[in-house]
Structure 1
Amino acid sequence: RLGDKLVYESSPKANDLERPLRFSSPSGSSAESLYLQARGLERERRLTEALEKYLAAIDAEPLHVRALSRAAELTTRRGEPARALGYAGRALSVSMYDAEANYVYGVAARRLGRLTDAKETLGWAARSAQFKSVAQVQAAEIAILERDYGRAEEYALRALETDARSVNALEVLAVAHRLAGRKAEAGRVLDRLLDLDPLDHLARFERYILDRNPKGLEACRGLIRSELPHETWLEMAAFYVRLGLGDDAAAALQAAPIHPTVLYTLAFLLRDGSPSESAAWLEKASAMSPNLVFPFREEEIAVFSWALAARPADWKPKYFLALILWGKGRLEETQDLFEMCENADFAPFYIARGSFFERDAPVRAAADYKKAVELDAGSWRARHILIAYHLRQNEKTEALAVARQAAADFPAEVPLRIDLAETLLAVGQPAEAAAVLDTVAALPYEGASDIHGLYVRANVASGLAAMKNSAWPAAVEALEKSKLYPEQLGTGAPFHADSRMQDYLISLCFDKMGENGKAAALRQAIRDYTLTYWDEAQPHGYFGGLVLEKLGKREDRLKARELLGRGRPSPEILEVLRISGSR
């Protein structure tokens, strides 16, 4: 009902769609296929893999403008603007008015201080509706860098014509008014900004800068209540640095909570104007614990590169810079930095470095994981990492030894009990693994289904072992147990759980026990489930195929062949099926 108007449609098919509703990424090796695969990876934030696909598309078609533009943007994000200019420039050499290529070129050129190039290409990008607002904001920021506050106001207002709710444009406009001495106009823009976004902390800090009233600063501080408040202040500082306002950036960081990244950045900003103060902040930053310090911004590459040069004997700037570059996919530089780190006394450092080296140097990674355990013997996390490493390396005996000791040392830690169950299952002791899981009490959390999956595998493995020994009642008991969803494992049952695998194995046990009626009822239930939920995912569709094939109904045979041609169960299950004569 819309007001007094009743809106209805009597046809049940009125809203049926004919457009495709199922989508899949192309798997080909053509330039366009590789480009579309890269776009999918980029949307999933798998940026390193996306860049590799874009570059593969460019190799297949060197003049693929969209792939060149996307590669340019991703290399800019990696902190490699010179490389980005190369890709964007190639795109513009093919299509000089391409909006995306011009925009990315402008952003990269600005990073390199080539402001004339940046303004030229951003101007072309602004002719596109897609990039008009953001390109005008970039142009406004460049105008502030050049101290042309009137031009900055002009560009910001143009951006607002396109997007009246652009927070970025309003922030730049407020700064332009303040720097031009138009305090009343700045105040009105800040009022508009806070009406639009009451949690815009930069607006409150700008209001404090307008009158330097300490109460305004406290009001700004008081409303920054996130788990990581220092990150909000670092974002403010990055904004001011982009505008060439180093003093304002320093003022924001001096108002921020004490944190290593804040202090390193403050020292970096003061390095030229106040060397002694910069040195003091750098010394204080280096003395702080690196615990829970995870720098990630492109802007922080310069900060920690400078800190590394200023304190070459200190491992912490190398570690922080390595974390940033690792996250950006710059792996060769990350490796060099990790190898330069000496005398670190911080367990998470060794966990991080071990994780980085594990694929190519597993022995070196093992040494780092063990060093982490040695440094932090009172924490369960390093043990958890070491157990997982041994399992990935198929070192089952070593994994079990570490898991037993860890579970004994930290009996209340659920992750370690799960590790113990997983290692017991890996070494072929499913009954003990299932017994351990019976003692687990896990709170619900995202990913708790992994624990239930382990519970299923442990009990199914126990059932398979009993079947091999012709212990049919014990096998039925274990397999029935595997179908349960114990509340203490942290996950609930789905609306229609797929238990066809267990039911099929149980039906084989009933056949051996002479209970043919029960076996037939289970097979019929498997058939009904398979046909009822045919259009949904079929994790155990293979067993549905076995039943459709076994029941021999003519209309089921094609579907049986389709299901049997999909994924097959594990070798252990296939062996039991072979022994039982089912396959």
Structure 2
Amino acid sequence: MKKWIMLWAMGSCVLGVFAQHPAKVSELKKRYVTYPFTDPDPIASAQKLYPYFRFDGFTNTAIEKDWKTVILENDYIRVQVMPEIGGKIWSAYDKVNKRDYIYNNGVVKFRDIAMRGPWTSGGIEANYGIIGHTPNTSTPVDYLTQENADGSVSCFIHAYDMLSRSNWTLEIRLEKDKGYFSTRSFWYNANAVEQPYYTWMNLGVAAGQDLKFLYPGNQYIGHDGDAHAWPIDSQGRDLSNYSENAFGSSKSYHVLGAHSNAFGVYYTDHNYGMARYALREDKLGKKIFLWSQAGDGKIWENLLTDQSGQYVEIQSGRLFNQNVPSSSQTPFKQLGFAPYQSDSWTEYWMPFSGIGKPKEIQLSAAIQIKRENNTLLLDLDPKRPLKDSIYVLDSIGTVLNRSFIEAQLGEPTRLSLMVATDSRPRYLKLGQDYFNLRTDTSWSKLNRPTVISAEVSSDTGQTKLLEIRDLIRFRQYTLAEVKLKELIQHGATSQTYLEMAKMAWFKMEYQQCYAYARQALSMDTYDAQANYYYGLAAIKLKKDNDALDGFEVASLNPTWRSASFVQMAKYYYRIKQYERAGDYIAKAVVANPLNIDALQMDVLVQHKKGAVTDRLSHQAILQYDPFNAFLQFEEKKTFSSRQEFAAEKLMELAIWYADLGEFESATDLLRSGQKNTEALIWLAWLTRSNKSISQEWLNQATQSKPAFVFPFREESNQVFQWAKENSKSWTIDYLTALLYRFRNQPQKAREILSAVGQEPTDFAAYYALKSSLQDTSRIDLAVQMMQQATLMEPQEWRYGLHLVELLNNSQSYKEALKVSTAYHRKFPKNYILTLAQVRTLLLGKEYMRAEKELEEVTILPFEGATEGHRYYVQTKLMLAYQFILEKKYKEAKLKIAESRLWPMDLGVGEPYADEKNEILADWLELHLQQGNNPGNPDLLKKIAQRKPSKNRYELMLRKLAEEQLKLSKGEGSAAKKEDLKGMIPSDHDLFKRIKEGTLASYWPELIRKIYFEQDQRLF
């Protein structure tokens, strides 16, 4: 059979005549309209966020600001990076089609969305740590630019993450002759213990009614791991079309169920789209995030940009979903980041056009294919210059057609290939890429289970243990410890004792860690993790032989081998047996070639042995971590960093040196950097062999103010204990208490502060900490401490806020209102204080005043919080209730109607009708209309058919509405036992009172209980 090929250009050929120039990288200042953030929180944050602090100052008033930008550019693409805003890839511009293919926000508009508050929409955001959005998302990171020998250019960005004590580096690379750019991630756990594992890339694209999601798969899972059909849902809607998502609230689809390397979006009206390509083992997860298309989503458009329009996020992750703790009840549990584990992966981000919705995307091209009898019609959008043989293959690799293609990047091209009529083409080979030609999707279907087998009980010890393990990985240590203690009472396994050992390590209780690990080994002597933690605890307890024994046995397991050899190398290094240390370093590197700790130690050992430094270890480190602080210091005896927490990165390296007994290097390093109180105490400890110098450092430490100093590393504990023995100072006790509080020992922290003799006279955060540590039975002491804080720093509004909360919790409503009013007057534009004022007025039954405050306030929304609207509804319904008692039914009806409104100034947009929770308004309106009648059937039906709620008090109202509906139809009342089914005993009396129908006997309690359960931020 004669083969033939026909090629012609479909699009513009203007770039085809260009010679390819080297890619360029440049730095410049670019002016943006900016809505800045301010106001860092000086109070130590809760355990999950600690040691980071939040920013709470946001504004609607813009300024002009020059931002440092890095531009990477070739003939086809221009990429902009913002190193002062988390290193975000701000935009990617397609020069061929003259449009942004990644959402380009025209303003820098910080809003309260990330874990630390400020966040900007659009671009590509790299997230590493425990949860999105990374703590560095809006603050400066380290960066450098590089022109590479092959004509490509790179911009590296880097940050140290304190939550996981890990380091991440992202190389953004643009080649001279490619129609895409790549991002190579390198993430390293520098800890001796496991850390949480979370990493996702979040990319913004412009929303539009013609937007279609190209997400291969047959199911999606939520954050909770529950599985649903994809793309056609149970209502027949095609969820892959943006336009068919005009229902419900904001959405997160983690799509799975198909084997594919690419996903993206396509704009049908523009014959244009973009895709992300990666090897599947590098990035398993693919997610879509959509704001609601109702008012509760549209409100974010103007909040996050001025004129750039609404956006959608497409995201890629190492795991299948961004799981929350409830996902542990499904197959999609939480992964741990093993000690000294290093992960690296690469992704590619490209536009495509002119070929319709692509059938498949590879690095050489995006293609669309149709078969007409014996002809294959291929539309290609090349992503590199094509001058290649092209093969059509069957399922076993037999060549059915071989032709040649020559096409320029940026020129969509059509290719016609003839094949035998009875042939079955399966693959198209172009260069090194294989495109699957099958027209059906069944070939890519996966059979991975998405639900736990029915034979597996959710109440087994193993299931509960996995839940506890994941809670630890989520940093929910308090809850994990409670559940561990409950579980161990019903019989322990080796894995139970292992988790107890991990918890004891976190709490810095090394004797207990040793004992629990030993218990685990008594059940399974070869358990690698138990041996490893046994070794770690033994090192702390100076049981050297036990430590070596643990690590030696742990090394039998490949997963724990490299970490175990590192620990053994460190042991021999400390006792100056450098040859043996070197032997174990070599073994550690064989087991994990990217073990940065081992590579750094290799450099040290070579120095100690007087050998000529082998550059292999240097090169291995720099290839992935060009910001490596160790190499900086070893080669230049200096440390340079531009990231927000540069001092903490420096501290991390100093502690690494100290752990190896290299006190002089640790001292030199700390002396060269910013010296906060913790660093000064470390300097005193490091120089303790020279008493005069050590005392000088200690004096400086105790005379300094520990503002925004939040110790979190276990290594600091022994240093603080030594300092306490050598100096009586509240400063040392304060830092020690902070460390113990974080390490799940609040009682120990409370004891430390209770024993302080001379307390500070000018440091309010000390008293805020002391207040937070008081037992719930001594709220009077908590109030007293917070009052002291307000007197010391009257300009810090948060102390007043916390005092109001404490007074409200102790039901001292009049005193709370006095404090709340004073702070509200002092900071009239602070909407957080206004919300506290409204809540205090509601608790004090001053509903008219609360209504007036809500009429005047303007709240900038923050993601996931709806207090403003909730207080509005509560205020209106309580006013309606008062009018009903006063028999002012017209006024009551008006307030009920107002409660159904959604004033924009309260920071929450109006959702779709079926998403509104108006059950309380319906119930009150029912009471208003009811009189001596059994009830308005339409309202009863509306209440009974309300969207299911997890709030048990709302379920009460639904149950009663169903019962009254039956009565209205003459079907009789349900049995009393059925009435009470599923309720807890304390609710029986309330249910009875509601059923009796006397509004005054139950309404205030009902509304308080419902809103208490709904609102966890200020209540």
The two structures have a TM-score, normalised by structure 1, of 0.83
**Alignment of 1:304 onto 2:720:** yes
Deviations 1:213-263 (A, max 9, x none): xxxx2xx41xx2333322111111111122221111112211221211111
Query: Against the structure 1 CA distance between its residues 115 and 499, is the aligned structure 2 distance closer, same or farther, given a 3 Å change threshold?
Result: same
Deviations 1:95-125 (A, max 9, x none): 2222111010011111223332212211111
Distance 1:116 1:506 in 2: 73
Which amino acid is 2:683 matched to? L
Give the corresponding residue for 1:356. 773
Which amino acid is 2:660 matched to? L
| Percent of residue pairs identical | 24
Distance 2:901 2:989 in 1: 21
Deviations 1:13-45 (A, max 9, x none): 96787642699x9896x8657645533432332
Distance 2:897 2:586 in 1: 68
Give the corresponding residue for 2:873. 456
Give the corresponding residue for 2:807. 390
Aligned residue runs from structure 1 range 376-525, under 5 A: 376-446=793-863, 448-494=865-911, 497-502=915-920, 504-505=922-923, 507-508=925-926, 511=929
- The offset of 1:353, in angstroms, is 0.8
Distance 2:951 2:811 in 1: 29
Deviations 1:359-415 (A, max 9, x none): 242222222122222222333222211111111112222212221222223323222
**Alignment of 1:158 onto 2:587:** yes
Whether contact under 8 Å (1:546, 1:564) holds in the other structure is: no
Give the corresponding residue for 1:201. 629
Higher relative contact order (CA 8 A, sep 6+): 2
Query: Against the structure 1 CA distance between its residues 580 and 379, is the aligned structure 2 distance closer, same or farther, given a 3 Å change threshold?
Result: closer
**Alignment of 1:578 onto 2:997:** yes
- The offset of 1:173, in angstroms, is 2.8
Query: Against the structure 1 CA distance between its residues 168 and 520, is the aligned structure 2 distance closer, same or farther, given a 3 Å change threshold?
Result: farther
Whether contact under 8 Å (1:35, 1:67) holds in the other structure is: yes
With 249-258 and 155-164 compared, the bigger mean Cα shift is at 155-164
Whether contact under 8 Å (1:32, 1:57) holds in the other structure is: no
Deviations 1:543-563 (A, max 9, x none): 555555555599xx99xx799
Q: 5+ residue gaps in structure 2?
A: 1-359, 363-434, 1004-1019
Whether contact under 8 Å (1:476, 1:509) holds in the other structure is: no
Q: 5+ residue gaps in structure 1?
A: none
Which amino acid is 1:281 matched to? W
Distance 2:482 2:923 in 1: 45
Whether contact under 8 Å (1:542, 1:564) holds in the other structure is: no
Give the corresponding residue for 1:134. 563
Whether contact under 8 Å (1:472, 1:509) holds in the other structure is: no
With 389-398 and 156-165 compared, the bigger mean Cα shift is at 156-165
Give the corresponding residue for 2:750. 335
Distance 1:115 1:391 in 2: 54
Give the corresponding residue for 1:231. 648
Whether contact under 8 Å (2:884, 2:928) holds in the other structure is: no
Query: Against the structure 1 CA distance between its residues 397 and 372, is the aligned structure 2 distance closer, same or farther, given a 3 Å change threshold?
Result: same
Whether contact under 8 Å (1:464, 1:573) holds in the other structure is: no
Deviations 1:398-456 (A, max 9, x none): 21222122222332322222111111100112232132122222223245323433333
Secondary structure class of the residue paired with 1:257 = coil
Residue of 524, 532, 554 corresponding to 1:125: 554
Distance 1:300 1:482 in 2: 53
Whether contact under 8 Å (1:73, 1:84) holds in the other structure is: yes
Query: Against the structure 1 CA distance between its residues 369 and 22, is the aligned structure 2 distance closer, same or farther, given a 3 Å change threshold?
Result: farther
- The offset of 1:502, in angstroms, is 4.2
Query: Against the structure 1 CA distance between its residues 49 and 179, is the aligned structure 2 distance closer, same or farther, given a 3 Å change threshold?
Result: farther
Deviations 1:515-567 (A, max 9, x none): x99x666666656663xxx6x8678455555555555599xx99xx7998569
**Alignment of 1:242 onto 2:659:** yes
Give the corresponding residue for 2:28. none
More strand by percentage: 2
Whether contact under 8 Å (2:710, 2:738) holds in the other structure is: yes
Give the corresponding residue for 1:323. 738
Give the corresponding residue for 1:99. 528
Distance 1:261 1:202 in 2: 21
**Alignment of 1:69 onto 2:486:** no
Deviations 1:73-99 (A, max 9, x none): 221222221222122122222322221
Distance 2:668 2:444 in 1: 62
Which amino acid is 1:377 matched to? P
Which amino acid is 1:97 matched to? Y
Residue of 455, 472, 476 corresponding to 1:46: 476
Give the corresponding residue for 2:102. none
With 137-146 and 475-484 compared, the bigger mean Cα shift is at 475-484
**Alignment of 1:281 onto 2:706:** no
Query: Against the structure 1 CA distance between its residues 6 and 482, is the aligned structure 2 distance closer, same or farther, given a 3 Å change threshold?
Result: farther
Which amino acid is 1:414 matched to? Y
Which amino acid is 1:45 matched to? R
Distance 1:249 1:232 in 2: 13
Residue of 76, 83, 89 corresponding to 2:518: 89
Secondary structure class of the residue paired with 2:537 = helix
Give the corresponding residue for 2:88. none
Query: Against the structure 1 CA distance between its residues 265 and 21, is the aligned structure 2 distance closer, same or farther, given a 3 Å change threshold?
Result: same
Which amino acid is 1:20 matched to? V
Residue of 670, 693, 698 corresponding to 1:253: 670
Root mean square deviation of aligned Cα: 3.8
Whether contact under 8 Å (1:26, 1:37) holds in the other structure is: no
Distance 1:11 1:510 in 2: 58
With 399-408 and 48-57 compared, the bigger mean Cα shift is at 48-57
Give the corresponding residue for 1:188. 616
**Alignment of 1:113 onto 2:542:** yes
- The offset of 1:299, in angstroms, is 0.8
Which amino acid is 1:578 matched to? G
- The offset of 1:266, in angstroms, is 0.9
Secondary structure class of the residue paired with 1:438 = helix
Whether contact under 8 Å (1:98, 1:125) holds in the other structure is: yes
Distance 1:225 1:2 in 2: 38
Whether contact under 8 Å (1:451, 1:489) holds in the other structure is: yes
Which amino acid is 2:436 matched to? K
Distance 1:130 1:91 in 2: 18
Whether contact under 8 Å (1:160, 1:166) holds in the other structure is: yes
With 42-51 and 90-99 compared, the bigger mean Cα shift is at 42-51
Whether contact under 8 Å (2:940, 2:964) holds in the other structure is: no
Whether contact under 8 Å (1:89, 1:105) holds in the other structure is: yes
- The offset of 1:571, in angstroms, is 5.6
- The offset of 1:322, in angstroms, is 1.5
Whether contact under 8 Å (2:923, 2:943) holds in the other structure is: no
Whether contact under 8 Å (1:472, 1:513) holds in the other structure is: no
Distance 2:567 2:929 in 1: 74
Distance 2:852 2:961 in 1: 32
Which amino acid is 1:54 matched to? L
- The offset of 1:139, in angstroms, is 1.9
Query: Against the structure 1 CA distance between its residues 250 and 399, is the aligned structure 2 distance closer, same or farther, given a 3 Å change threshold?
Result: same
Distance 2:941 2:747 in 1: 58
With 565-574 and 378-387 compared, the bigger mean Cα shift is at 565-574
- The offset of 1:166, in angstroms, is 2.9
Give the corresponding residue for 2:1006. none
Whether contact under 8 Å (2:956, 2:991) holds in the other structure is: no
Which amino acid is 2:554 matched to? A
Secondary structure class of the residue paired with 1:131 = helix
Distance 2:926 2:979 in 1: 23
- The offset of 1:59, in angstroms, is 4.2
